[in-house]
Structure 1
Amino acid sequence: MSEQDRVRWDARYATSAAEPEGGPPPVFAAHVAEFPTAGTALDIACGQGAASFWLAQHGLDVLGVDVSAVAIATARAQAQRLGVTGRCRFAVADLDDGLPAGPLVDVILCHRFRDARLDRAVVSRLVPGGLLAICVLSEVGGSPGPFRARPGELTTAFADLDVIAAGEGDGQAWLLGRRR
């Protein structure tokens, strides 16, 4: 991301209240049983860490990454308050440089971030049978824009996954799938 983007996100998080203690992103709430209760997870563009906390409380060891140092500092403090620091780590990462290096993971969660250049890297980072949970802004029921998925974009981009569930409408698109 450009320095201007980083500054904008830092300013946004500096003036916002901390996210709730955790929970799955609402779009995945009906599919909680699909998420493993052990293993590792990568939370891409984790913001202040709400989904990371939920994954940790669900039994996973989580690395949350975000471009905003302010968001990451808040996530670290909240993880300590929630007692999940043993399961949650957070790092500042500029995703324009690609996914941070690391081992294969059992779950990748990406909520409200879209960069199609990362699609192959995301799939490659999953263990066989690993779960991708992605929810992005969409042109379907929303307006067009550079960070919005076009109709059918997620199912096309992740066609080599076994899709468990997917949908688009009301300005969002989402997909839950397993790596073959």
Structure 2
Amino acid sequence: MADTDRVRWDQKYAGRVGGTPGLPAVFARYGDVVPTSGHALDLACGSGSAAVWLAERGLSVSGVDVSAVAIQQAHQLAHRRGVRDRCRFSIADLDDGLPPGPPLEMILCHRFRDPRLYQQIVDRLKPGGLLAISVLSEVGAQPGFFRAPAGELDVAFADLQALAAGEGDGQAWLLARVKGERP
């Protein structure tokens, strides 16, 4: 990612305070399928609202984002909510791939899209592991560089067991499990 992108994201987060912990709205009604133990990865975690919610649920969470400002806010939110021992946040440029780490019970990726990472995401999940991914979509919106063409998530994650999915109004999302026994 270019330095100008990092600066742009830092400016976006400047002056904000981490919000109320919770899943992104698109996944909020599916909170009951989120694991309560194990390890999770929050890609492009922003100020950490979802990562902290996952930690409050009982998961050990790694959150990564390109913005140092967002990562600082995520650290502060985890501290305020008393879950800093279950949260690790770091600055990462996902253009370099997923950060190394153990197999995961869950990966959350909200409004970040890089099709080059899709296979890495699947490979990183344990059998029974949960993927919650949402991206900007061309369906119901103007095509654009960061928008997925129709059906991209269905094709990319066809080997997973879809629990719920949707596409329209400029957003595509998928909640799915890796086939096999839960860990």
What TM-score, normalized by structure 2, do the two folds share? 0.95
Tell me the amino acid that sits aligned with residue 123 of structure 1: V
- Partner residue, 1:115: 114
Deviation at 1:19?
Answer: 3.3
Deviation at 1:137?
Answer: 0.8
- Partner residue, 1:89: 88
Paired with 2:20 and 2:99, the residues of 1 have a C-alpha distance of 25
Q: Do 2:165 and 2:175's aligned partners in 1 also have CA atoms closer than 8 Å?
A: yes
Identity %: 62
Paired with 2:101 and 2:145, the residues of 1 have a C-alpha distance of 28
Paired with 1:78 and 1:167, the residues of 2 have a C-alpha distance of 30
Deviation at 1:29?
Answer: 1.3
- Partner residue, 1:130: 129
Deviation at 1:21?
Answer: 2.2
List aligned pairs for 1:10-29, cutoff 5 A.
10-15=10-15, 17-29=16-28
Paired with 2:77 and 2:29, the residues of 1 have a C-alpha distance of 25
- Number of corresponding residues: 179
What TM-score, normalized by structure 1, do the two folds share? 0.97
Deviation at 1:139?
Answer: 0.8
Deviation at 1:106?
Answer: 0.3
List aligned pairs for 1:21-170, cutoff 5 A.
21-170=20-169
Deviation at 1:40?
Answer: 0.8
Paired with 1:24 and 1:13, the residues of 2 have a C-alpha distance of 19
Deviation at 1:7?
Answer: 1.1
Cα deviation code 1:15-43 (max 9, x no counterpart): 4x223121111111121111111111000
Stretches of structure 2 that go unaligned for 5 or more consecutive residues are: none
Poorly superposed stretches of 4+, deviation over 2 Å: none
CA RMSD of aligned residues (A): 0.9
Which deviates more from structure 2 when the two are superposed, residues 44-53 or residues 5-14? 5-14
Cα deviation code 1:23-82 (max 9, x no counterpart): 111111121111111111000000000100111111111000000111101110111111
Q: Do 1:21 and 1:53's aligned partners in 2 also have CA atoms closer than 8 Å?
A: no
Tell me the amino acid that sits aligned with residue 10 of structure 1: D
Paired with 1:30 and 1:78, the residues of 2 have a C-alpha distance of 23
Tell me the amino acid that sits aligned with residue 23 of structure 1: G
- Partner residue, 1:178: 177
Residue 10 of structure 1 aligns to a residue whose secondary structure is helix
Q: Do 2:18 and 2:73's aligned partners in 1 also have CA atoms closer than 8 Å?
A: no
